[in-house]
Structure 1
Amino acid sequence: MSKSYLTTEFPPELVLALAESDDISLSSLNSLAQTCNHLHNIIQPELDAALTPEVASEVLLDAAKTNKPEVVAKLLAPPYSVDPNAYSGNSCTPLHAAAERGHVAVVMLLLAAKADVTRTWDSRIDDDMQPLHLAVLKGHVAVARLLLERGANPNTRYGEWFRYIICDAAYRSSIEMVETLLDYNANLEQRDTHGTPLGHAVARRDLGMIEYLLRRGAEVDAEMPLYPGAQCGSFVPPFKATALYFVLSLKHPKGDGKKRNAESAPKEGREKIMKLLLMYGAKKDRAMETVKQYLTGLADAEGISEEGLLKKVDSIFASVELSK
């Protein structure tokens, strides 16, 4: 059977039977209708009859997910004029779906149709999740920039754990994304349950991100939580400290053995990070204040005397000085 037969002579009743089948989606049927005038003339009336406002919203969402800009453009234009801000499917808008998947062309069409960049995901699980949040979490820089250009706020909080996208971008080691967010006035000192963007980078020993954030003016002595994300339980102080103290990688006081362990930095890359922090003005005295305030517990955790702990810390700083 030749292609020309399918596109010019295929019996209309068979085409209509296909159109009425439950085994083919409206989105696929629409794609088939676009292949030639013969099929379009037969299928389009069936599509028009089936495309109620509710169904049209579902088809638009599916087209946004599967990156079909031609279908999106058709549904957004008259006579369909589907609302780009309608919730459907799993309670997200087409802009959420396209932003999460990085479909630039679809995002541009939706924005041109006045899709709301501030619309949140209508779900208790994804609290206050906007399209920009999804684009950043998935690493789609081009989409994030489009949304920011249309007024998306880079400083809105989202999620059950009160997250911020600049912190997430720093955690994911995406300098390009952090730079994009800062270009649109993201707060460099924004703090979530894991601290500032610099705190995230230090906790991951991400030297490149640490240096970039410091060059952009991040507060070098901003305190980091030593129990990141903790909402309940028993904790042993110190509860927070500067990045310089964190990178010392001292063992945390043990408490009674039932306490939750604090996060501590592995020793790998310690001298390079400390050197960088000191170069950008980190104060040794601030770190030493924490050491001295909790000296007894820290020494006990290390299994050495208080004097021995102070000597250990001094030797760490001395090794950093020698490496300059």
Structure 2
Amino acid sequence: MSTDYFAELPPELINLLPLSLSLRSLSALILTCRRIHDILQPELEASISPSFRRHLLRKAAAENPEIVAKLLSSPHGVDLDEGYDDRTPLYIAVNAGNKEIVALLLGAGANITARLGGSGPQALHLAVCNLDLEMMRLLLDHDAPIDETFGEYGDSNVTPLHHACAIGQLEMVQLLLHRGADIEYQSNLGSALGFAVQSGKPDVARLLLERGPNVTVHWRVQQDLLYVAMALRHPRRPSPTDRAEKEPAKWVGLPLGEPRKQLMALLLAYGASIDATMDLIRQNLTALTKGANQTRSEYLATVSGMLTEAEGAIPGRMLLQ
């Protein structure tokens, strides 16, 4: 149908078209002619229900900033946080890595503290898990809570800093510390330093230690950080099964791998106690030797060698501090 035909229709007749057309057909018709668009667009917008606006916003939140901007403008006033079940538009945009849309949503008042499904991760947690450094910056610029926890490790509640340390993302750790993340915050597993040590990330551990965290804190019950760095068997782990006794579990001994040696040397240089670690080992020596398939004297000799090797790796500049 020629658009010239519509150009000749009086506005009164054009205004009657919505009475006989579906919303989809009306939307398509509006795109065919500038005159029809100017006359009927306000009515079309007024006919869009709040639930349909939310639907459109979710559809556009990943990659269509123009539609998002339109839906956020007057007279729509679409709700940004309620009525979305689990994934809000902000969560969708953060997950898609679309900083332009995230900025639009936050500028319009989207709740940056909202959790997925009401109890899941927040926007910053998602950016951290996606390794999206620039998204993290944007969210922190908009006052995203930096020390809120989320359950990334099963039953454990960890902060963004804990997670960044566990996966060894040095730039993320630097950003979070620069923005004020609590370096001493203890989850039910341990501190940020504990996560770096447990995961074998000496570069991250060095960065944290330069900021002065407590090296005497425990990673888990009865495990100090030097003990964790040595990768010794958990003293409270159940005794090996019959099958395991036939095939003894391997454990880290000598020679030390380079990351392990660096971690031990760093902890020793910053005040970790060999005496405390040896006391812990002696208290649990029966279980530890059984897991390593060694005699008590053999096990203690190996542990002593590990500590001696690590002490020899302490940089000279640290010995002078």
Give the TM-score normalised by the residue count of structure 1: 0.75
Deviation at 1:85, TM superposition (A): 2.4
Alpha carbons 2:240, 2:291 under 8 Å: kept:
no
User: When the two structures are aligned, how many residues end up with a matched partner?
Assistant: 290
Deviation at 1:40, TM superposition (A): 5.3
- The match for 2:94 among 87, 91, 99 is 99
Alpha carbons 2:250, 2:292 under 8 Å: kept:
no
Change (3 A) 1:265 1:194: farther
Give the aligned partner of residue 297 of structure 2.
Answer: 307
Give the aligned partner of residue 223 of structure 1.
Answer: 218
Name the % identity.
31
Change (3 A) 1:320 1:120: closer
Give the aligned partner of residue 176 of structure 1.
Answer: 171
Structure 1 spans left out of the alignment, 5+ residues: 1-5, 226-238
What one-letter code is carried by the residue in structure 2 that aligns with 1:54?
S
Map 1:139-288 onto structure 2 (within 5 A).
Answer: 139-159=131-151, 161-225=156-220, 239-252=221-234, 255-257=238-240, 268=257, 269-288=259-278
Deviation at 1:18, TM superposition (A): 11
Give the aligned partner of residue 24 of structure 2.
Answer: 20
Q: Partners of 1:240 and 1:219 in 2: how far apart?
A: 16
Deviation at 1:56, TM superposition (A): 0.5
Matched, 1:58 2:55: yes
RMSD: 3.7
Matched, 1:72 2:64: no
Alpha carbons 1:84, 1:93 under 8 Å: kept:
yes
Give the aligned partner of residue 80 of structure 2.
Answer: 84
Structure 2 spans left out of the alignment, 5+ residues: 8-19, 315-321
Deviation at 1:182, TM superposition (A): 2.1
What one-letter code is carried by the residue in structure 2 that aligns with 1:20?
R
Alpha carbons 1:92, 1:121 under 8 Å: kept:
yes
What one-letter code is carried by the residue in structure 1 that aligns with 2:24?
E
2:87 match: secondary structure? coil
Alpha carbons 2:215, 2:267 under 8 Å: kept:
yes
Alpha carbons 1:211, 1:276 under 8 Å: kept:
yes
Deviation at 1:74, TM superposition (A): 1.0
Give the aligned partner of residue 236 of structure 1.
Answer: none
Alpha carbons 1:190, 1:197 under 8 Å: kept:
yes
Deviations 1:185-234 (A, max 9, x none): 22112233432222221122112211112122222232112xxxxxxxxx
Q: Which has the larger radius of gyration?
A: 2
Q: Partners of 1:258 and 1:46 in 2: how far apart?
A: 74
Deviation at 1:173, TM superposition (A): 1.9
What one-letter code is carried by the residue in structure 2 that aligns with 1:100?
N
- After superposing on structure 2, the runs of 4+ consecutive aligned residues of structure 1 that deviate more than 6 Å are 8-12, 16-19, 261-266
Alpha carbons 1:207, 1:273 under 8 Å: kept:
yes
What one-letter code is carried by the residue in structure 1 that aligns with 2:51?
E
